[in-house]
């Protein structure tokens, strides 16, 4: 008998964690599970609509309700859960309204993936009480790295919950084959003799773009034939573009906006940089490795699980502009070493971080939760 698995998404933007849910919903074993996805009806999440063609049953939450008071949102979610009657609900990150509705429904096992346990949710007053109620019952928490699991248990009060480490998976085959590098250069008007240093992330404070822009100035003083390609969107876009102009690197910093052709873009690049202030297991870093790029990153969250310092890339301290710039310069100065790092990173992804491993291990979590 098929078990009904409901993925619950409350965030209204489509980023790397949403791609995680998209992948699970796409790849789950249909001989064991009937798959549902509940998510806000907003334009930013329209990519989820494709899942319907893969047999996923979609259930939308009206945008007005999602953006409304939590006490109005909970009954709406509860009614939707009653209509679906899931055997298991998998929450994509801690979400109070969804969790409370699931507790009231009370007929489903609960699994939650906690992508960024270092992120302070800043609940106060009634929010703290609701948070305690939401996370008070049985729950299986998936972390995507051992580092994140340690952080969650230590700082997020999760020691009483069952935890499981299931790393993200990346489809390395998507980055194989021939890509039109010239088309990327032409689209962004990058001189053909330039090397490209890429960053793919939401344009938010967490991702440390300000430090990347500061470091870019130092790099460009040593290597003038370099362009920084910043892929992603967010509420800091205008501020960061203005800051790049203020620093004097705006002509060498391309803000590409949100892209769906990440593999094509990364294959045209020479290096990847992720100067995050805090992080989970960073999918963008993993995709950079899948594209065969050396990576410079900060040793936060799960990043050290993928960036092996001196082997697949270079780890630098958080907010350290000099170390960040020197790491990039070192890789630019040593193209042979850069290629070796990129190949080592790609091998690490194809060995330890595959989509199949992620999906099968997640299914095992479901099986154990449903049995209990």
Interval 116-127: pLDDT, tens: 776 555 555 566
The C-alpha atoms of residue 164 and residue 141 are separated, in whole angstroms, by: 6
- The per-residue pLDDT for 116 is 79
- The per-residue pLDDT for 129 is 75
Answer yes or no: are the C-beta atoms of 309 and 330 closer than 8 Å.
no
- Which residues in the chain land under pLDDT 50? none
pTM of the model: 0.85
In three-state form (DSSP H/G/I as H, E/B as E, the rest C), the secondary structure along the chain is CCEEEEEECCCCCCCHHHHHHHHHHHHCCCCCEEEEEEEECCHHHHHHHHHHHHCCEEEEECHHHHCCCHHHHHHHHHHHHHHHCCCEEEEECCCHHHHHHHHHHCCCEEEEECCCCCCCCCCCCHHHHHHHHHCCCCCEEEECCHHHHHHHHHHCCCCCCEEEECCCCCCHHHHCCCCCHHHHHHHCCCCCCCEEEEEECCCCHHHCHHHHHHHHHHHHHHCCCEEEEEEECCCCHHHHHHHHHHHCCHHHEEEEECCCCHHHHHHCCCEEEECCCCCCCCHHHHHHHHCCCCEEECCCCCHHHCCCECCCEEECCCCCHHHHHHHHHHHHHCHHHHHHHHHHHHHHHHHHCCHHHHHHHHHHHHHHHHHC
- The per-residue pLDDT for 156 is 64
The fold of 172-352 is Rossmann fold (3.40.50)
As a residue count, the chain comes to: 372
Backbone angles phi, psi at 135, to 5 degrees: -105, 20
The C-alpha atoms of residue 164 and residue 227 are separated, in whole angstroms, by: 40
- Give domain limits for the chain: 3-169+354-371, 172-352
Same fold, 3-169+354-371 and 172-352: yes
Q: Which CATH number does 3-169+354-371 carry?
A: 3.40.50.2000
């Amino acid at each position: 008998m098929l078990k009904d698995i409901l993925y619950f998404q409350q965030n209204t933007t489509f980023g790397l964690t949403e791609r995680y849910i998209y992948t699970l919903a796409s790849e789950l074993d249909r001989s064991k599970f009937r798959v549902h996805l509940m998510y806000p009806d907003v334009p930013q999440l329209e990519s989820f609509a494709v899942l319907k063609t893969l047999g996923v049953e979609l259930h939308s939450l009206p945008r007005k309700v999602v953006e409304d008071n939590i006490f109005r949102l909970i009954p709406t979610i509860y009614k939707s859960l009653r209509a679906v009657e899931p055997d298991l609900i998998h929450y994509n990150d801690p979400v109070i309204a969804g969790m409370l509705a699931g507790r009231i429904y009370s007929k489903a096992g609960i699994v939650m993936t906690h992508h960024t346990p270092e992120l302070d949710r800043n609940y106060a007053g009634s929010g703290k009480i609701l948070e305690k109620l939401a996370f008070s019952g049985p729950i299986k928490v998936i972390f995507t790295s051992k580092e994140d699991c340690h952080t969650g248990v230590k700082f997020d009060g999760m020691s009483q919950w069952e935890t499981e480490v299931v790393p993200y998976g990346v489809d390395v085959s998507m980055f194989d084959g021939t890509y039109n590098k010239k088309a990327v250069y032409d689209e962004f008007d990058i001189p053909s003799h330039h090397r490209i240093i890429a960053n793919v992330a939401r344009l938010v404070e967490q991702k440390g773009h300000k430090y990347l822009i500061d470091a870019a100035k130092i790099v460009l003083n040593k290597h003038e034939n370099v362009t920084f390609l910043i892929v992603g969107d967010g509420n800091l876009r205008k501020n960061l573009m203005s800051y790049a102009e203020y620093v004097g690197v705006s002509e060498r910093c391309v803000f590409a906006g949100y892209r769906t052709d990440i593999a094509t873009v990364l294959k045209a690049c020479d290096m990847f940089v992720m100067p995050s202030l805090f992080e989970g297991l960073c999918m963008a870093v993993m995709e950079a490795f899948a594209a065969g790029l050396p990576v410079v990153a900060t040793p936060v969250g799960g990043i050290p699980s993928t960036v092996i310092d001196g082997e697949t890339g270079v780890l630098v301290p958080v907010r350290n502009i000099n170390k960040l710039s020197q790491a990039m310069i070192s890789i630019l100065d040593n193209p042979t070493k850069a290629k070796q790092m990129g190949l080592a990173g790609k091998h690490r992804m194809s060995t330890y971080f595959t989509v199949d491993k992620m999906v099968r291990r997640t299914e095992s979590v479901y099986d154990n939760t449903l049995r209990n």
